Amino acid sequence: MKYYLLTLGCQMNHSDSERVKRVLEGMGYQECDKEKDANVIGILACSVRQKAIDKVYSKIAEWNKRKQSHNLITFISGCILPTDKEQFLKLFDMVFAMRELPQFPQMLSQYGITTPSGLVNENLNPKEEINFFWKVKPKYNSSFEAFIPIQNGCDKFCSFCAVPYTRGREVSRPSKEILEEVKGLVAKGYKSITLLGQNVNSYGLDKKGGEISFAQLLEAIGQIGESTKNLFWVYFTSPHPRDMNREVIEVIARYKCLANQIHLPLQSGDDKVLIKMNRKHSLKKYRESVDAVRELLPEATLFTDIIVGFSGESEEQFQNTRKAFKEFQYNMAYIAMYSKRPGAAAYSWDDDVDATIKKQRFELLTEDLAAGSLNYNKQLLNSEFTLLVRDSDRKKGYLTGHTEGKLIVRFQSDDLNLIGEFVKIKISSAAKFSLEGELVAADKFQDKLEV
Ligand code: SF4
């Protein structure tokens, strides 16, 4: 019996898919890479973007047609808005919230006898159910980089975002479990570990003193790093600027395994737009965090997320975002042109910035980013870096990887055994968003590498 799983959306869904796979394989199903070979097909959906929802509808229409000649069971989980859920119940054999995953084998084995919703344990509240979900051991998609969910849901209610409605309120995973998962991965030689959550640095706040803080969690992970010879880098995404504090940055500065890379979403460089976005922080508050990063982590790279053309964004407000870009000198920014997201508060507001203006703003900001990034990258020429080799590069005969700061570097080598290993690289040329280097040492004994 085979299964095929289609995962849409963000890293959180991709992390969840590792647990879904483990449950299916625990039931004896084998993963296949072609939909046509599968007996069970599932989607981890993303209701946040209309494009992803359109894809769900087109896929299920195709699969339901195939049911006429094949024995096929379909399911859907992930980020689903209540309005979409009603439609999906009519189209899929099973619809369940990710926190109900531990009950999935029961649903699947009894499929056709009992409706899935009837099997949900009504004695458990959603917060208790997510704790059961986290106990499911994931089937990691990679042998050297892993994502660890530390928190689920969001209390922030940004006006452009539907996540609080699809994933519910913030719930922190018990720190004991997180630390065990980190220890297990480090013992297996994992090199890159990313702590995942909608607001990772709000970690523990929902437990009101009953759980350690995010800074304390990082401290405990830092100590795991100190107790082993294995080199690994720990990242986290995404923190919320409102809950960012100096203590978190001080902890990162103390421990070698906590990576010198900060991804701090700004979304807009204008205070009035930030208020309209309901971001709950000002540019001044954001600046304090960036100043602390520059002071305590001078080597750190800085990434961000930006939305251009949000409802009512004026030219002057956009120019304030450009000014913020200049001031904060990002290495990378994920820039999105605003589009209404079903379920979000701003869905009913006018999407009144013309599409051509949005495109112009997107291009201007991308140019600003490219100029800043190129300038930064040029200063790295002839410097040596430790690189985690991740894959073959598009350029034939080259491999690609990233530095601790997640700067992409490619180098000439066709030794595929290096994928998943640390190597030492000397930067030989710099481009806008990438670097090229020469292999200095491909020694796989990582404790010989300087970090
Ligand atoms: S912080 Fe804002 S953007 Fe991030 S998940 Fe929560 S509501 Fe969405």
Of the pLDDT bands very low, low, confident and very high (cuts 50, 70, 90), residue 403 is very high
Residue 428's CB is within 10 A of a number of other CB atoms, namely 14
Q: How far is the CA of 152 from the centre of ligand 1 (A)?
A: 11
For atom 8 of ligand 1, the residue with the nearest CA is 161
What's the rounded mean pLDDT across residues 248-253? 98
**Residue 330 pLDDT more than 90?**
yes
Nearest CA to 170 among 242, 245, 264? 242
The distance of Cα 151 from the centroid of its chain, to the nearest Å, equals: 12
Second-level CATH architecture of 130-378: Alpha-Beta Horseshoe (3.80)
Say if CB 274 and CB 281 are below 8 A apart: yes
Question: Which secondary-structure segment (H or E) carries 305?
Answer: strand 301-308
Condensed to tens digits (0 to 9), the pLDDT of residues 311-322 reads 999 999 999 999
| Test site for ligand 1: of 46, 157, 338, most ligand atoms within 8 A of the Cβ | 157
Q: How far is the CA of 240 from the centre of ligand 1 (A)?
A: 8
For atom 1 of ligand 1, the residue with the nearest CA is 156
Least confident of 2-16, 212-226, 268-282: 2-16
In this structure, the residues whose C-beta lies within 6 A of any atom of ligand 1 are 154, 156-158, 161, 163-164, 198-199, 240
Residue 333 in 3-state DSSP? strand
Q: Tokens standing for 161? A: 């975002």
Average pLDDT, the chain: 91
pLDDT of residue 448: 44
Give me the CATH topology for the region 2-122: Rossmann fold (3.40.50)
pLDDT of residue 167: 84
pTM: 0.88
58: preceding bond cis by omega (within 30 degrees):
no
Question: Which secondary-structure segment (H or E) carries 374?
Answer: helix 355-378
Nearest CA to 116 among 132, 92, 95, 91? 95
Q: How far is the CA of 151 from the centre of ligand 1 (A)?
A: 13
Backbone angles phi, psi at 64, to 5 degrees: -65, -30
Ligand 1: atom nearest CA of 157 is: 7
CATH 2.40.50.140 fits 384-448, yes or no: yes
Q: How far is the CA of 169 from the centre of ligand 1 (A)?
A: 11
Of the pLDDT bands very low, low, confident and very high (cuts 50, 70, 90), residue 451 is very low
Name the residue ranges covered by the structural domains of the chain: 2-122, 130-378, 384-448
In angstroms, the CA 451 to CA 448 distance is 9
Ligand 1: atom nearest CA of 238 is: 4
Condensed to tens digits (0 to 9), the pLDDT of residues 197-249 reads 999 999 999 998 899 999 999 999 999 999 999 999 999 998 999 999 999 99
Residue 75's CB is within 10 A of a number of other CB atoms, namely 24
Residue 68 in 3-state DSSP? coil
Of the pLDDT bands very low, low, confident and very high (cuts 50, 70, 90), residue 123 is low
